[in-house]
Amino acid sequence: MTKPAGPIPSGFAADDDGMLFIGGRRADSLVAEAGDTPLFVYDLARIDAQVARFHAAFPGVDLHYAVKANPYELVLRHMIGRVDGFDLASGGELDKVLAAGIAPAITSFAGPGKRDAELEAAIRHGVTLNLESEGEAHRALAIAERLGVTPRLAVRVNPDFEIKGSGMRMGGGAKPFGIDAERVPALVRHLLAAGADWQGFHIFAGSQALGPEALIEAQRATLQLAEELAEAIGADLPKLNLGGGFGIPYVHGDQPLEVEPIGAALSERIAARGPRLAGTKFAIELGRWLVGECGVYLTRIVDRKVSKGRTFLVTDGGMQHQLAASGNFGQVIRRNYPVAIADRFDRDPEEDVTIVGCLCTPLDILGDDVMMPRADVGDLVAVFLAGAYGLTASPTAFLSQTQAREIVVGGA
Ligand SMILES: Cc1ncc(COP(=O)(O)O)c(C=O)c1O
């Protein structure tokens, strides 16, 4: 039975012969320029549009880019001057931002399981560490003392709430992330007594939320918690990183997130903040919402076959590059991402096909029972929403298949 493909982001069009345009360029010429498929194309102009939309909706709030969403060097470089900070999740991401020419002073490093060598590199470079446990705090202080530097330390708080309806819940209850809220005041007092440069709180309660009300509620709860904790510590709060969680519509029926009402509600709540937050800097950290829609994954059909009446288009790519589109990155029931035949982007669908990758596993599906225009060997398949958690969140070493290429288009 035919299953719907996810919603193609607005603004994509076709050339006169039906070829998909990405960032004003034909998909086939982008493949020629990159050398071959499989290929990720990132349209920087789409990132700019999201950045502009954020700044319009959240005046006065810093925008941080969560590097984990897409650490490709040309994407990182493009973010310089467009965002106010970069959030890292590993020493490897620190290496990548340094290589891209990003000032480490505007980066922060969250994530459980930071090794001593990673803590040391971060402290040496003046990165703000978002501490995930008391043990990590003690190791960071000891390393800083050995180095003879003042560490920049923030505390990641494990709040008692989550973002309702978010695809990934990262707060509320027992979690490997952050320090339980009730233990935070004692730890911060200890950091202050040890002479650390306390940078404030990081409160990240979830990811991939599409309901504005849930995000408004989570941000209100975050400010409330920050006020209570600052009061309990007895110190003014320098910075509050409110996390993010803004989602994008991946599957049929998902609605795009309206960020403007969230910004309006946050401005109101900030205006009513208590005295401990009077001089606080506020930040929101986003990955997926900033870069998800900028990416298109292009893969070529290498075989067309029929099995028991079902047509398969077999491509030279697959879940080794686009795990999320295969349904194996957090989906409980597999649903199709937006997918199209790039060479026939303007044509009406004619046949029900299943688009698979070249891995020898039934998990490797890019489009399951989707209606497509007739396509054949040599044609290009486009998988949309590939800008975030694409190559970086996929098992690229699996079966030692061809590595995907990456290219950017557009942008000033
Ligand atoms: C601490 C932290 N920051 C930022 C993000 C980025 O989330 P998203 O890409 O959904 O905006 C995540 C995602 O898991 C995260 O764990």
For the chain, percent of residues with pLDDT exceeding 90 = 94
Instruction: Report CA(135)–ligand 1 centroid distance (Å).
Output: 23
**Cα–Cα distance, 14 to 7 (Å, whole number):** 17
Ligand 1 proximity of 212 Cβ (cutoff 6 Å): no
Q: Whose CA is nearest to atom 3 of ligand 1?
A: 66
Closest CA to 339 of 304, 315, 310: 315
Q: Which residues of the chain have pLDDT under 70?
A: 166-171, 412
Ligand 1 proximity of 241 Cβ (cutoff 6 Å): no
Please, how many CA atoms are within 13 Å of residue 211, restricted to the half-sphere of its CB? 11
pLDDT, position 170: 62
pLDDT, position 215: 96
Cis bond before residue 38 (omega within 30° of 0): yes
Q: For residue 394, what are the CA distances in angstroms to 74, 125, 317?
A: 19, 29, 12
**Cα–Cα distance, 277 to 256 (Å, whole number):** 32
**Predicted structure pTM score:** 0.96
Q: Whose CA is nearest to atom 10 of ligand 1?
A: 207
Give the nearest ligand 1 atom to 202 CA: 1
Ligand 1 proximity of 66 Cβ (cutoff 6 Å): yes
**Cα–Cα distance, 65 to 6 (Å, whole number):** 25
Q: Whose CA is nearest to atom 6 of ligand 1?
A: 287
Tell the residue number behind the tokens 């006169």, with chain if given.
Answer: 16
Instruction: Report CA(234)–ligand 1 centroid distance (Å).
Output: 30
Instruction: Report CA(69)–ligand 1 centroid distance (Å).
Output: 8
pLDDT, position 137: 98
Give the amino acid at 377.
V
pLDDT, position 300: 98
pLDDT, position 160: 87
**Cα–Cα distance, 369 to 210 (Å, whole number):** 26
Ligand 1 proximity of 132 Cβ (cutoff 6 Å): no
pLDDT tens per residue, range 20-61: 999 999 999 999 999 999 999 999 999 999 999 999 999 999
Ligand 1 proximity of 151 Cβ (cutoff 6 Å): no
Q: Whose CA is nearest to atom 5 of ligand 1?
A: 66
pLDDT, position 315: 98
